[in-house]
Structure 1
Amino acid sequence: MAPKQYTVTGMSCEHCAASIREEVSEIPGVSEVVVDVAAKSVTVHGTDLDDARLRGAIVEAGYEVVDTVAV
């Protein structure tokens, strides 16, 4: 399955990235979470990825998803 990539606001450091990785990694099917703070992007790899759950996990970590990017 193709990865899902999101534009996320509010990230400013590695602690932000770690918080997002931790929340998103708990979702079933997620195999890898790549957070690029400078590019304001979160890319999720895995199988049967649920967009609503991924967005919810990012919000739960304290950040806002502003866009989904086609990968």
Structure 2
Amino acid sequence: MTTTISVEGMTCGHCEQTVEEALQNVPGVTDATADQEDDQVEVDGDADTATLVEAVEDAGYTVET
């Protein structure tokens, strides 16, 4: 399953990497690809959305709802 999350605050490649790494540490996530230009991250796996949002916010970014 692929989940797309809108993320505010990613301004560079390092930001993308930080968000990707935070999500890849969530149990059930098999891959995460962030795109700062689209302000989105696509997450593959079976982790629930609330857990994904929490991981992004814990990394210091804001999830757009």
The bucket for the TM-score relative to the shorter chain is over 0.9
1:51 corresponds to: 49
TM-score normalised by length of structure 1: 0.86
- Could you say which structure has the larger radius of gyration? 1
Unaligned runs of 5+ in 1: none
Q: Which runs of 5+ in 2 are unaligned?
A: none
State the 1:51 CA deviation: 1.0
Moved over 3 A (4+): none
**In angstroms, what is the RMSD of aligned CA positions?**
0.8
Look up the SS of the partner of 2:15 in the other structure. Answer: helix
Residues paired across the two proteins, number: 65
What is the percent sequence identity of the aligned residues?
Answer: 35
TM superposition score normalised by structure 2 = 0.93
